[in-house]
Amino acid sequence: MHEKVSRAMVTEINPVTSSANSSPNPSMRLLIIEDDRESADYLVKAFREVGHVADLASDGEEGLALADSGEYDVLVVDRMLPKRDGLSLIGTLREKGNRTPALILSALGQVDDRIKGLRAGGDDYLPKPYSFAELLARVEVLSRRHGGPAEETVYKVGDLELDRLSHRVARGKEELTLQPREFRLLEYLMKHAGQVVTRTMLLENVWDYHFDPQTNVIDVHISRLRSKIDKGFDRPLLHTIRGAGYMIRDGIR
């Protein structure tokens, strides 16, 4: 069922990612370790469609051997795999000193499972069923974290500047006053400028909650932030990506 869902999202997100490909997030090399043939094929195809290179391993041992070659930007690992389960695979890789970012996909979507996954050396955790948009956004963020530049003290997007040390935010010459949470929200968005950031990612990283609110709480926070940074300026920087999330970026539309 989620296949159809996600395909729909791919078409939605395509224009965004292809334009994003040009600058901060170039094509990635991914390894998908998933034993369910259909969803694995679908993932490979979907990642290729948005311009990434994806290889496939269908069991834990094969996945470990391939991942160990170290040529991947991100690993997408199913938690339950034949021959060797996902957590042990990641654990073994980490023991060998391989630090390739790994995202764990799991049908066990509970809080303690996520903690277990992250403890085993995973970098992110996504419960099934997921939308491809969510997966793509997370994988792209992980990849940049892997090879990305050192943490800067000042983030810049267009004429918007955020100083992480002095907590100052300015657009052009105008100083902006943000609430602490708004600051952290903007900080996270700007850290991943040019990348799609989903609502769950925001809730997890800015608020540190891992549950799924039934309402559009995040949207309201974004619209408040937007009214502060974009209102009255001719070029909007904070964009809503339909069916996926938000992106801060200079030069779309």
Partner 1 sequence: MTAFGKLIRTTAFRLTLVYLLLFALFAASLLAYFAWNTRRLITEQITTTVNAEASEINEIYLRRGLRGLAFTVGNRALRPGANLYLITTPTGVALGGNIGSLAPGVMATTGWSETAYRRLDEGDNAEHRALVKVTELSNGFRLLIGRDLEERRRLFGIVAKAAQWSLLVVIVLGIGGGIFVARRVLRRIDAMTGTTQRIMAGDLSGRLPVGRSGDELDRLAENLNAMLERIEALMNGLKEVSDNIAHDLKTPLTRLRNRAEEALARSGSEADYRAALERTIEESDGLIRTFNALLMIARAESGQARGNMDDFDAADVANGIFELYEPLAEDDGMALKVKAAPATIHGNRELISQALANLVENAIKYGKPEPAAQPLGADAVTASREILIEATREGDQVLLSVTDHGPGIPEVDRKHAVERFVRLEASRTLPGSGLGLSLASAVATLHGGELRLADAHPGLVATLAIPARAGGDRLAAQTQDVPQKVA
Give the residues lining the site for partner 1 (CB under 8 A).
1-2, 4-5, 8-9, 109-112, 115, 127, 129, 131, 181, 207, 209-217, 220-221, 224, 243
Report residue 151: phi and psi, to 5°: -60, 120
Coil vs helix vs strand at 236 = coil
Closer CB to partner 1, residue 51 or residue 129? 129
Question: Cβ of residue 20: shortest distance to partner 1, in angstroms?
Answer: 22
Nearer to partner 1 by C-beta: 153 or 216? 216
- The residue type of 219 is D
Task: State the minimum distance, in angstroms, from the CB of residue 181 to partner 1.
Answer: 6
CB 142 within 8 A of CB 101: yes
- Least Å distance, CB 174 to partner 1, is 23
Least distance to partner 1, CB of residue 62, Å: 30
Q: How many other C-beta atoms lie within 10 A of the C-beta of residue 11?
A: 10
Upstream peptide bond of 129 is cis (omega within 30 degrees of 0): yes
Indicate the residue among 57 and 244 with the shorter CB distance to partner 1: 244
Closest separation in Å from C-beta 112 to partner 1: 5
Q: How many CB atoms lie within 10 A of CB 66?
A: 17
CB closer to partner 1 out of 22 and 214: 214
Q: Which two tokens stand for residue 33?
A: 């370790």
Nearer to partner 1, 65 or 115 (CB): 115
Q: Which helix (H) or strand (E) element contains residue 151? A: none
